[in-house]
Structure 1
């Protein structure tokens, strides 16, 4: 009406539309021209309602009439009429599938003597491989054994077999890792030497000398290929013949001894095992709960109530542990000190490093080598013999949580006693000849070096003041009290990937320098002597060692072997000192 104005079809009723009381109008299509037009407009609400009511009545009456007509209608059954068969070509296929007789039928007549009708029947056993005449019986049966007639073969006719040709599908998946883009090149044509270059290469003295030196090695490799089959699979023939090395029972390892404690190690996972470096037959085992990361979060309150222990066993008593080393959390790895076995270092599953001092129980571990479970001292209580309780050793020191690893410690190693690391990662002379430093790695991508000696007197508070301010639990050694909750790493290396973003997740590392056998004098559990040995030597008097290798290998969660160095090198871009890591 606004766009077309006077030529609009609704212009004659413009005022009616403007005066309509509601917002919705009813326009009805009238194909029968009931009111003279193909469309008509309801001008009032009463006309709209009356139109709806009339339409509903008409619809209802039409439905009722159709239902009545449907009910009154009587169905009459008409049988189908037969029609003449018109072949569309399928009769040929039907005739090909028909089985037709290719020879005349054989008539067979089975008869019986009249006097045998109704006669009594007697059943007996007969052997099919013997004739009835040999057994003295009447010839009532004949055995027809099957045999292969070479003169008669059945030739198979044309076989009708349905085959559906479809492409073979195979489901595969691949995990790709993003790497930063680098320039790359590809040789797409064969590189051939010209005649002059070929003559120059033949006259080259370096090439001829290389060929002469490599002839013997090539001959040896060719001889080995002839003598030994390099493609022979040893795994297929492994264990097929037991006659070579006895029976199968001789090829399996037999259990010698097992250590089980129903209270401390039942239904738990053994995370680490280490032998005592000086006492034979004594070993330590770390146990933790078999929980996943989500289960540990759900059962955090339960884990806090249960003690995290390292059990020290002796072959003399496989039922009762000799000592229990209690830690702040589940211990994932630990290691005895090679020079002083009374010191034990362990890595917790929460990333903290723990130290134990078992000097007070050194005599108990030495005596356990000769004693047995039958000769243990027993106490009598209410007329019953009770074994003494296993002593529990509380940890002497634990690293500060803010300076520890952010994930579980996967490996702990002691630095050999013939050298130590300074703050720059350089090896220097160890005048003490005692293992005083530790190396740890974790899945958080860090490798740390720790020092168990007390700090310099200028940096540490007086020992008397520390003892007065901080209470010490009963039975805890005072040897490493200066490190408890304040222990920081001496050296921290971040295992950052060189060729891509992210960090390595180290699980195990190995250093080339190993602890040699040294006939050290045992402290014998004397705390005073242990405190005297743990003194920091002057850095000015320490001599740098050039023959000590600072490189080490590290295995990661992704199956990579990383070659790294403890020496810190300054980055030209950031100016920070970082360790160098190279993936192999």
Structure 2
């Protein structure tokens, strides 16, 4: 029976009970006129405040269908004591004092049977009679005594039938275990035994039970027994003490884990290394001689495989050489299983400065050449040497070496106008590259719609380079070879002066949301899961009019008119720009002599700026497991580990002479939760893989939350400093204006004093002339007397 049906029956029963009580002459509650009422009923008038206080609001808490409300006797007495004669219950004060039970019944009289809208039932007998529920059932008379026929019925034939799970023999319990002999040497003899539990096949059963009920006499005897009273008196202090302990102390706290982190708790040896440990060293004199490693990347899917890009050293001897020596350029793959021999070589048309694996297909690698061309390699053929699949045309490439290259995330793509739109197949199809030629170019690996096959065949044979013992080149990107053009370019004009900025590194915010998630139906989602993603050679550049525009993508970078924000924090070239793996708006930048930490949106400057170092910084990276830790490589081959929670003015650990040359690249890798590596390359072409100890990769307690609060405090400090700086600038300007005004007033005052002196002197001369004339001593008067 549903809850609504229960309430409906209860309402009918209540009204039937009240009707019977009023119609009965033996109940003592006779239906009378407004002038009189039964002795065990007292009509009341309750104000709105009293109704809200006792929860008996008319037509809300009590209604026509549910007119009964039980009130606490102590609450009524307290209301009478508080309000005295102003209480609505003051007229029944003595009745309340003599009432034997804790609750008294209040009835909502919607028909004003006794002259008021409420009345109190003054006796427990009347309350029990009103609250007693009685059921009535009725049936048509002609249905009595009719014959009844019973027959068998199949439950599966009805619509809402119960589906039975028939018993069957489970085949997984009939597997026979085959024994085999094996030999073990220098170990204690072991005895093997096995046991198997036979699990019965599940079947449908039902059980019906009824709780055991005690009679009224048994319950009264148990409640009045001395043993129960003694047990309650004895156990009450213990239970109260236990409840008090649970309120004060968390009994389920693991004190051992509270002493340190979980991974440290499992280290019982007590011998934890505090520094980086050399795990593996890779070098090959055949391919790395007189070369340096410019870029490094771990394989995204195969563990223990790492790829490095080699390029020629720009030493003085090569600069003085008039005729350049052409040597093949490679991307070399190393493996932990065979560190002395390269596992794979990717032949490149020129030295590679930067490269990156495709996130959607690790067999595809995009690289930037030193001559400004974009390279597209494919490792589909498992041969020792694999030639590149496609290279961009020289006239449409960068005019300087490509210093950074990245794949756009598979969640979106951009049109020729820089507008972010949805990516239909959710695979990476576009590349971004930057170069010191003051441009950032966007590339698309799909075939343009206007490209013809004759143009492809014509361009394929131009400037082909003969591979060195290579196998057949995959035709995945055959349509791009020698004809690849950028989708569009972005220039970076300076804000304050003329000219353009030189981009060396860039950072994009990864858009992780799916643009189709908000509009797809369930059917579309099923089609999307079952849809087969085509090969790269079958992809075509779609029309921008048919794709959905994604408004929530951060497209600030794509505005090519002028940069949104510029700040000079480093005194030389910036070699590293990397977003934090834990905070998407925190960015680490490393220059030649210092580092800075920025927050996207904070236009006043960096949150943290280090002091200038004695040794030049060459590269750096964030830790993959600790939000407060990052690494910096130096020119003298040393490695610094910084912990922002411990100290922001000096590194937490300094590892001197990791290499004997300048560190060119650093790349962390998380092999497992208990094994972290750090790959380091140098200027001599050597690759070293260091194992990070537990103390450097296990985060401290609440480190993520502490770093979040730290960045918030730094942002507040930056805003406060900017306000103070603005105030200081204003005060300085006012002081300068005041000083200028004071000097001008001083000059004006000096001029006035000089004119006053001249005026006084002229007045003195006039006075002197008049006196001399009166005495006849003025020269003109003397001349007239002589005549």
Shared fold by TM > 0.5?
A: no
TM-score by length of 2: 0.33
Q: Which has the higher helix share?
A: 2
TM-score (norm 1): 0.43
